[in-house]
């Protein structure tokens, strides 16, 4: 009878245990993107921050991540690492807990076994891979730099990618729509004797591809930009560099020994730069070579640039700025940082710069190439960049010039704390914090009826908060008066007009136990499911019913609106 009882009890206990586990599992699944405890430890791993790492690049390298998951994973990483105050300011050697788990060594061996005979003989120490879908305009060099964050030993990484993608026969040819494997972390294949031999012809091609990235752009289903859209992009970009484009009517070029060359500008637009360089753009590659020779032989500042139907807009622009004097157009493989004391960090694909100019900073334009589902920069960010000497042009691979409309923010005037005196500054600060301070208040020390004498002292600022009374003085008091005021339960704060506004603010907040943090603050667009950019500045963050960031510089209204709308960051200046 006892055995039957214990068996029945044990059965009921098992049912209860499994029911609880099922309920817990169900709850964990529902909360997986909201709570770090919802993710099982087997799905987390530790990443060590390397030199040059930024979170936006690290997020993109999480195994199995897709473009639409970046923003959610960005927020999840913040929750998984509560000990890191600002994940946008990482230090070398810092440990990050990341969601997902890299592929195992066994998975890596399976990949290696599917490779060519040479690749099969490689001993792979550690393998972690992720899939990547090749986009229009991609090349392996760009993929290595942009997707893996690699800027050194690029040729080695290209060989590494080929070794885990045996279907890539020629590294100078990849196709839009294909899927390839990319390493998610460093691993060291041991090369065969054959691979240790002298530089091969293929390595020479890689070297050439790095110097001229557009030569390895090849797509199965290339989405060509319509000719009118391509010309519109060219006009916009060169116009931003203070050039003029004539695409209608005729252009007459007199010959030194009589006669003239007449050019139909609708078929061969004329681009004239401020440095007296003139370029004839042969859009249909119809001009005879003799004309090109005649122009180059007779006019030092004139040139003819041939363009084919296969040339995409970047290739055409590179040809133009190669022909123009005193200009450069280079690939940008690292994030740009502009501005001070407010700075912005973001990626562009190409940078065009006037190389010899007295203008400081030199005229510079960044080109950002957008593909399907890529997000646009806020107009406020682009305006901020232009005020700091950088024109940002966003180009859709299919549509041409694109951009967000101007944002209109309805904001009250920015709060400014006067720094004329400690009294005025502290009064304005406390008023902005909603503490209802009083200014120039008489504090009674002795009362005639009680003490037989009447004595009052004027305080600069008085604040009553619950059971505490804070009195601010910007002058010295005698020890006797300090003792009387303190014994009456008052909390005294002494300041000086010679103190800096930062010190006054720090002294006030600490004395009144108001939560505040003095440091550097970063605001990432990925946090708000926007394009990848970061705004940063140093200041003081005060935690009340709202977040107030106090800064010592003037901030543009549109940037203040952007911070307020996306991050609920209220700005005050002094």
| pLDDT value of residue 310 | 78
Give pLDDT tens digits for 150-166.
Answer: 666 666 677 777 777 76
Please say if the pLDDT value at position 21 is more than 60: no
Judge whether 131 and 179 are in contact, CB under 8 Å.
Answer: yes
CA distance readout (Å), 15 to 10, 77, 166:
9, 36, 51
SS3 111: helix
Residue 52: left if φ>0, alpha if ψ -120 to 50, beta else—which one? Answer: left
Region class of 100: left (phi > 0), else alpha (psi between -120 and 50), else beta: left
DSSP string, 125-159: S---EEEEE--TT--HHHHHHHHH---SSHHHHHH
pLDDT of residue 563: 94
Pull the structure tokens for residue 453. 């004498």
Q: Is the pLDDT of residue 143 over 90?
A: no
Mean pLDDT across the stretch 31-58?
Answer: 58
The pLDDT tens digits of the residues spanning 262-279 come to: 888 888 888 888 888 888
Task: Report whether 308 contacts 287 (CB < 8 A).
Answer: no
The pLDDT value recorded for residue 363 is: 87
Tell me: the pLDDT tens digits for 290-332? Answer: 777 777 676 777 888 888 877 888 888 998 998 888 888 988 8
Neighbouring residues of 11: CB distance < 8 A, sequence distance ≥ 6: none
Q: Could you tell me the pLDDT band of residue 552, with boundaries at 50, 70 and 90?
A: very high
Whether 127 has a pLDDT exceeding 60, the answer reads no
- Say what the pLDDT of residue 68 is: 60
Read off the pTM. 0.60
473 or 194: which carries more pLDDT confidence?
473
pLDDT in tens, 487-544: 888 899 999 999 999 999 999 998 898 899 888 999 998 888 888 899 999 999 998 8
pLDDT of residue 286: 77
| Domain at 36-52+70-99, CATH homologous superfamily | LysM domain (3.10.350.10)
Q: Which residue has the tokens 């399976």?
A: 110
Query: Which part of the chain has CATH 3.10.350.10?
Result: 36-52+70-99
| 571 pLDDT above the threshold of 90 | yes
Q: How confident is the model at residue 101 (pLDDT cuts 50, 70, 90)?
A: low
């Amino acid at each position: 009878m006892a055995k039957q009882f214990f068996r029945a009890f044990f059965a009921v206990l098992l049912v209860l245990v499994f029911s609880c586990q099922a309920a817990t599992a169900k709850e964990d699944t529902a909360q997986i993107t909201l709570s770090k405890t919802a993710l099982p430890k087997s799905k987390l791993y530790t990443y060590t921050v390397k030199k040059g790492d930024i979170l936006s690049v690290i997020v993109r390298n999480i195994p199995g991540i897709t473009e639409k998951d970046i923003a959610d994973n960005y927020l999840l990483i913040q929750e998984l690492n509560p000990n890191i105050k600002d994940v946008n300011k990482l230090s070398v050697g810092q440990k990050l807990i990341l969601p997902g788990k890299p592929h195992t060594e066994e998975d890596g061996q399976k990949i290696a076994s599917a490779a060519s005979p040479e690749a099969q003989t490689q001993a792979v120490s550690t393998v972690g891979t992720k899939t990547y879908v090749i986009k229009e305009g991609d090349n392996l060099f760009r993929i290595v730099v942009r997707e893996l964050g690699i800027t050194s030993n690029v040729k080695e990484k290209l060989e590494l990618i080929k070794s885990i993608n045996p279907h890539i026969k020629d590294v100078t040819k990849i196709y839009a729509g294909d899927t390839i494997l990319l390493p998610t972390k460093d691993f060291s294949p041991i090369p065969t004797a054959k691979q240790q031999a002298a530089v091969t012809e293929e390595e020479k091609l890689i070297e050439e591809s790095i110097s001229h990235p557009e030569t390895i752009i090849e797509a199965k289903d290339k989405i060509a930009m319509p000719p009118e859209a391509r010309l519109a992009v060219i006009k916009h970009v060169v116009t931003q560099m203070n050039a003029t484009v004539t695409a209608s009517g005729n252009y007459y070029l007199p010959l030194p020994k009589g006669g003239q060359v007449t050019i139909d500008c609708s078929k061969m637009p004329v681009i004239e730069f401020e440095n007296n360089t003139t370029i004839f753009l042969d859009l249909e590659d119809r001009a005879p070579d003799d004309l090109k020779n005649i122009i180059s032989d007779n006019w030092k500042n004139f040139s003819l640039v041939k363009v084919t139907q296969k040339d995409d807009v970047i290739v055409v622009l590179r040809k133009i700025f190669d022909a123009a004097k005193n200009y450069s157009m280079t690939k940008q493989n690292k994030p740009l940082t502009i501005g001070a004391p407010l700075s912005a960090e973001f990626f562009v694909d190409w940078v065009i710069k006037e190389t010899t100019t007295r203008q400081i900073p030199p005229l510079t334009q960044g080109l950002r190439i957008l593909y399907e589902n890529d997000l646009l920069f806020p107009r406020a960010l682009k305006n901020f960049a232009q005020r700091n000497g950088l024109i940002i042009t966003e180009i859709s691979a299919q549509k041409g010039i694109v951009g967000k409309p101007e944002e209109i923010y309805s904001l009250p005037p920015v709060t400014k704390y006067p720094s004329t005196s400690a009294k005025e500054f502290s009064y304005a600060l406390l008023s902005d914090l909603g503490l209802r301070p009083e200014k120039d208040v008489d504090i009674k020390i002795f009362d005639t009826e009680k003490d037989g004498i009447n004595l009052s002292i004027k305080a600069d600022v008085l604040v009553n908060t619950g059971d505490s009374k804070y009195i601010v003085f910007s002058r010295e008091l005698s020890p006797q008066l300090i003792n009387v005021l303190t014994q009456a339960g008052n909390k005294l704060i002494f300041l000086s007009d010679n103190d800096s506004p930062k010190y006054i603010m720090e002294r006030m907040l600490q004395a009144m136990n108001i939560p505040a943090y003095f440091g550097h603050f970063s605001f990432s667009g990925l946090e708000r499911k926007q394009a990848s950019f970061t705004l940063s500045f140093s200041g003081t963050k005060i935690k009340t019913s709202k977040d107030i960031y106090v800064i010592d510089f003037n901030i543009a209204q549109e940037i203040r609106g952007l911070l307020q709308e996306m991050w609920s960051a209220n700005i005050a200046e002094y």
